[in-house]
Chains A and B, each alone.
Chain A
Amino acid sequence: MTLLYEGREWNFDKVRRAHDAVSEIALDELGLDVYPCQVEVITFEQMLDAYASIGLPILYHHWSFGKRFVRDEVLYRKGFQGLAYEIVINSDPCLCYIMEENSMTMQTLVLAHAAFGHNHFFKNNHLFRQWTDATAILDYLSFARDFVSRCEDRYGVDAVERILDAAHALQMQGINRYTRRPKRSLADELARESERQAYLETTWNPLWSTLPGQKQEAPPAGVTVAPEDRAPSVEFPEENLLYFLEKNSPVLKGWEREILRIVRNLAQYFYPQRQTKMMNEGCATFVHYEIMNRLHEKRMIDDGAFIEFLHSHTSVTFQPSFEDRRYGGLNPYALGFAVMQDIQRICRDPTGEDRDWFPDIAGNGDPMGTLRDIWAHYRDESFLLQFLSPKVIRDFRMISLHGEEGRSYFEVAAIHDEQGYRSVRAALAREYECARIDPEIEVVDANMAGNRRLYLENRVHDGQRLDPPSLRATLQHVRNLWGYPVTLRETDARTGKRLSDGETEVS
């Protein structure tokens, strides 16, 4: 084979050639399934702009994005932080931004990583398929931007900022984690009701009413609103706070509800990315590693380019030890890549240990098929729980720690040994569970006929209470959107009891 390119400089022709070569390997040899891709070359300033708008090519304006821009710019200009080589958007066609400063090897790497790795993951992972609509996102973003800017023209920047501030504060509470039950039609409802009635009539037996000592069930703890004060149309509890406010707030105007909806939809669009961050990066890293190696084997890139690739690949997958000054948590690239490489090894060349741990996939000889299946059907938490192997735990020398509040030390719960593998694996998987990272907050009640007070409940797990100053400020935002007093109660998730000073009110 002939070399795709030589030297550092890139041009459009070379990029096109590299894309075609990468595409051949990705589609034919690795069997990836991707959206058509659109590569856009941008400068570092445009990259900073893209950073500011959380990676999206189009976004409405808000000061918090300006703040992010200032922060990134300062870090970049002072040299504390490099910029990403690429940004990729989950859309159809898949938008892939590459920087003009990259060398040709980097451009090839970026194409393999983003245009095929991430792209495949976006198109195939079940979370993205279920919750995001790749064909419509760009249109929706431009609608959102135009709508917000029209609102700014008509109602003033301040009024829009007030709503956006509040919506941003609540965006993590604006996500549907489960699909809703489909609404029944009235006819269905009536049919069901009469069926039920008929069943009751056929099974009615007066004997039952003679049983002594039937106690009335006590009302569940925490109920404060008399049933007649509730609005009949509202169902409780509701975990999607933004949705609840959008539909039920007594004070919001139409355009304000629409803005809440926009923020809610964007949060929902990003939720799969939060749940699969490590897998997504692992998948892209695995794909670029495979592709670059095959390009080198086929003599389509020269040794110099391969060394350059290895240099940047190893710095991306570098994992410092927790005692290292550079430690900043587990590196998702490193962990995802390591686990996926290990799956490849298990499929091809399993040890006895692997056969014990992974009887389903060990030695099946089809690493790509196995990985494609995994990429499609798992998220970070379930992926680790299923596929983190003892070997990876040993390689990373993982240690599981347990910390009690008020103690100056952590206790070592498990390390990378025979007794520890399973508990390390379970503990690590829990760290990637979004439902555990986010607090569990629900709207539990609202007094619609009287003082219109809104009741929220935070179910506290493991004594991890909300950060108080942030809690007050956020509650004030809820109050602004609801228009009437708001109460948040913190209860212990296990016992259901109210915690001490667990009630915060904004009136």
Chain B
Amino acid sequence: MNIIDRRLNPKGKSLPNRQRLLRRLKTQVRKAVAQSIAGRRVTEIDADRSVPVPMEGIGEPSFRKGMGGTRDMVWPGNQKFVKGDRVPRPPGGEAAGRDGAESGEGEDDFTFTLSREEFLDIFFEDLELPDMVKRRLKQSTASVPVRAGFSVSGGPQSLDVVRTMRNSMARRLALGRPRDEDLEELEAMLAEAQASGDRDAVVRLEAEIGRMRQRRLTIPWVDPVDVRYRRFESRPHPVAQAVMFCLMDVSGSMNEHMKDLAKRFFMLLYLFLQRRYEAVEVVFIRHTHEAKEVDEDTFFTSRETGGTVVSSALETASRIMTERFPVDSWNIYIAQASDGDNLSSDANRVLAEMTNRLLPACQYFAYLEVGDPPSDNWEDRSGPSELWRTYESLLAETVPLAMRRANTASEIFGVFRELFARNGVSSS
């Protein structure tokens, strides 16, 4: 008999089958992901929570007998029936019969869950992110050096003295380097011999001492082969903290579709920040003609009436910034979603607020102008909006401002293009 331990063999041999199943269930998976996005908080986008996907439409047909017709069967455990009796049919047909169990049909009404990786893949797919960016989002990129054993080369600042001396001592012992004590002893004996005038002993001892000195020279105290340096590996590690301001216009003109786009936009920025920073705070500010800091539920669900004054939101953001998030200890990101309406008289205040307070303080200001899904009606295509024109005048090489108009989810990424590109990702 052979007995083989297979426990260390790779598991997950069935993974390709799972991928094929996902391909097959594409529509259901996408629907489940979309629903899940609606139900998730922005900060939970990355959470390791499973998404149930109903397994519909993946039956495996075959030529098999239906339930009809006459049939005979034998059952065990009869307690009370005799020949000629009538036994009521069990409810649900003859599900107990063998046919139903064998075909494997009728068991498809259960769900299976997407892993976090699979969820993010599909989330990204909707947003049409370039592959490089996807990879960056899925891993963390910042790194810190971490001790990882020893090496024979390195800078003097990373010399490991203990390890070096241990090696040196081992080498000295192994090669038999004369110790200081041995030398001193011989010298003492030499002095004694000189004092007593024993010439033979003096010659012998001097030769002995000479040999010993020579040996001490050829076998050095510390040899380059002994030297060890502490080795460091760079491990990915989030480095600092960031705050993300989500600004959204909630006036009546923002419909559900626009809000969904805005939510995906905030989620994407959050994912990006979360990869780069240890802690990410999120501040939600909604505005109509006046702005208010709210929690996430209110942010996405409530609907206000009123005009649209963007500067009110910007002012609130900068007030919160000075109160709670000092620029020197926080990386500040601002994401704004709006349909572009603004009171025309507000433009100057917006410009002042942006140039004086927000743009100098923040790492990145992303503006997403959301619109309805594209229609064929050319009349719908209006020119640039009020707010767009205002921000456009701010654009310059050095200004950390990106803006984008999006009607569908696939267009959102453009607003972040520069943000990802700046981190060494070339986006095509």
Chain A residues with CB under 8 Å of chain B are 12, 15-16, 19-20, 23, 36-43, 45-46, 48-49, 52-53, 61-71, 74, 93, 97, 100, 115, 157, 161, 168-173, 319-324, 327-330, 396-405, 407-417, 419-420, 424, 427-428, 430-431, 437-439, 441, 458, 460-474, 477
Inter-subunit contact A38/B2 (CB<8 Å)? yes
Inter-subunit contact A464/B69 (CB<8 Å)? yes
Inter-subunit contact A67/B21 (CB<8 Å)? yes
> Given the complex, which residues of B lie within 8 Å of A407, measured CB to CB?
89
| B107 CB to nearest A CB, Å | 7
Give 17 new A-B contacts, CB below 8 A, not counting A39-B3, A169-B62: A41-B6, A49-B11, A170-B63, A172-B62, A172-B63, A319-B76, A328-B96, A401-B74, A412-B84, A413-B72, A431-B74, A437-B99, A466-B63, A470-B61, A470-B62, A470-B63, A473-B59
Inter-subunit contact A396/B65 (CB<8 Å)? no
Please report the C-alpha to C-alpha distance between residue A173 and residue B60 in the assembled complex, in whole angstroms.
14
| A153 CB to nearest B CB, Å | 13
Query: B7 is contacted by which of A100, A328, A439, A468 (Cβ under 8 Å)?
Result: A100
Q: Which residue of A lies closest to B108 (CB)?
A: A67
Inter-subunit contact A403/B79 (CB<8 Å)? no
> Given the complex, which residues of A lie within 8 Å of B60, measured CB to CB?
64, 168-169
| A476 CB to nearest B CB, Å | 8
Mostly, the A contact residues are mixed
Q: Which residue of A lies closest to B7 (CB)?
A: A43
Inter-subunit contact B11/A46 (CB<8 Å)? yes
Inter-subunit contact B21/A70 (CB<8 Å)? yes
Query: A67 is contacted by which of B1, B55, B84, B85 (Cβ under 8 Å)?
Result: B55
Does B188 sit at the interface, judged by CB under 8 A? Answer: no
**22 A-B pairs in the complex with CB atoms less than 8 angstroms apart:** A16-B1, A38-B3, A52-B17, A64-B58, A65-B17, A66-B14, A157-B23, A169-B61, A171-B62, A327-B96, A397-B79, A400-B74, A401-B73, A403-B71, A405-B70, A410-B89, A413-B72, A415-B82, A431-B74, A439-B63, A470-B62, A477-B61
Inter-subunit contact B83/A415 (CB<8 Å)? yes
Task: Give per-residue flags for B351-377: 1 if the beta carbon is below 8 A from chain A beta carbons, else 0.
Answer: 000000000000000000000000000
Q: Which residue of A lies closest to B88 (CB)?
A: A409
Inter-subunit contact B1/A38 (CB<8 Å)? yes
> Given the complex, which residues of B lie within 8 Å of A52, measured CB to CB?
14, 17
> Given the complex, which residues of A lie within 8 Å of B63, measured CB to CB?
170, 172-173, 439, 441, 458, 466, 470-471, 474
Tally inter-chain residue pairs, CB-CB below 8 A.
269
> Given the complex, which residues of B lie within 8 Å of A468, measured CB to CB?
66
Please report the C-alpha to C-alpha distance between residue A57 and residue B1 in the assembled complex, in whole angstroms.
19
Q: Which residue of B lies closest to A411 (CB)?
A: B86
| B84 CB to nearest A CB, Å | 6
| B68 CB to nearest A CB, Å | 5
Which residues in chain B, 3-54, are within 8 Å of chain A measured between CB atoms?
Answer: 3-7, 9, 11-14, 16-24
> Given the complex, which residues of B lie within 8 Å of A173, measured CB to CB?
63
> Given the complex, which residues of A lie within 8 Å of B22, measured CB to CB?
66
